[in-house]
Amino acid sequence: MLYIQHKFISMKKVFYIIWRSWFYMMMGLPLIVLFPILFIATSRAEWYPFFFKIVRLWAKWVLYTTGFIPIRKDGIFLEKGRSFMIVANHTSMLDVMLMLHTIKNPFVFVGKKELVKIPIFGFFYKRSCILVDRNSPRSRKEVYDQCQERISQGLSICIFPEGGVPDDESIILDDFKDGAFRMAIEHQLPILPLVFPDNKKRFSYTFFSGSLGKTRSYILPIIPTTELQLENKGILKSEVHSTILEKLKATLPQ
């Protein structure tokens, strides 16, 4: 019995090694093949919507070829051309792909500068996203200016307000940082909350874990910021956190 159990565990580990290797291959291969097109598409700001269409196709490719079936579960219609501050819970690498799959309105990610070190992906990440350097006091001003420029181009901004994936996977939703809510108020952007309840189960950062299958996304009701001042950012942050947490608790897979 112990021999059979040991054999099963060994086979399971082999599956995860092959599957996760395949995932990273499916991430990187299209970026290599499309390198010239993506390079040109990221060379001018006005070409970003074209680049966004390509990366949405890339996201769908990664999801479907690695065994994930994205399903949008809400019926909310997003007005074309309207800019939002998009926020969501963050538990997995799938969050990026599922965000791109779910939202058709072009948006720009605000993310950690450290991700530029990822081969191939990091190159285009640096050219297309707004990077935050947490060790630089000037970073907040630079991020603010870049966000303002992108918003003036009709784009939305996307931030994972937890600031990273919690090391403790038992945490349903970590505390939010202030940045997304400060910028939403300063730029008068309505908050667009999203919930990804399945991604942690499907593809967490624990290597020998995960499963193929459906991965759902929910767009929650838009939260306006037009009447808010900077001193209200704490209240706004708390409201959004509670909204996302409540939906997560109601939809998490058992």
For residue 18, what pLDDT band results from cuts at 50, 70 and 90?
very high
Out of 26-30, 108-112, 173-177, 196-200, which region has the weakest mean confidence (pLDDT)?
Answer: 108-112
| 39-56 pLDDT, tens digit each | 999 999 899 999 999 999
- Rounded to whole angstroms, how far apart are CA atoms 109 and 154? 14
Closest CA relative to residue 115, chosen from 103, 130, 98, 97: 130
pTM listed for this prediction: 0.93
H or E, element range at 36: helix 35-41
If you average pLDDT over residues 154-161, what whole number do you get?
95
If you average pLDDT over residues 177-187, what whole number do you get?
93
Per-residue pLDDT at 4: 59
Q: pLDDT at residue 108 above 90?
A: yes
- CA max distance for the chain: 66
Please enumerate in sequence order all residues whose Cβ is within 8 A of that of 91, keeping only pairs 6 or more positions apart, or say none. 165, 166, 169, 196, 199, 200, 204
Supply the mean pLDDT for the chain. Answer: 91
What is the DSSP pairing of strand 130-132 with strand 156-159?
unpaired
- Please give the share of the chain, as a percent, with pLDDT higher than 90: 72
If you average pLDDT over residues 190-199, what whole number do you get?
97
Q: Are 107 and 157 in contact (CB under 8 A)?
A: yes
Per-residue pLDDT at 133: 76
The angle that helices 2-33 and 48-65 make with each other, rounded to 10 degrees, is: 160
Distance of CA 57 to CAs 52, 64, 165, Å? 9, 11, 25
- Rounded to whole angstroms, how far apart are CA atoms 80 and 120? 31
Out of 82-91, 124-133, 135-144, which region has the weakest mean confidence (pLDDT)?
Answer: 135-144
Q: pLDDT at residue 197 above 90?
A: yes
Helix (H, G, I), strand (E, B) or coil at 136: coil
Q: pLDDT at residue 101 above 90?
A: yes
If you average pLDDT over residues 219-246, what whole number do you get?
96
Q: pLDDT at residue 122 above 70?
A: yes
Per-residue pLDDT at 77: 84
If you average pLDDT over residues 117-131, what whole number do you get?
86
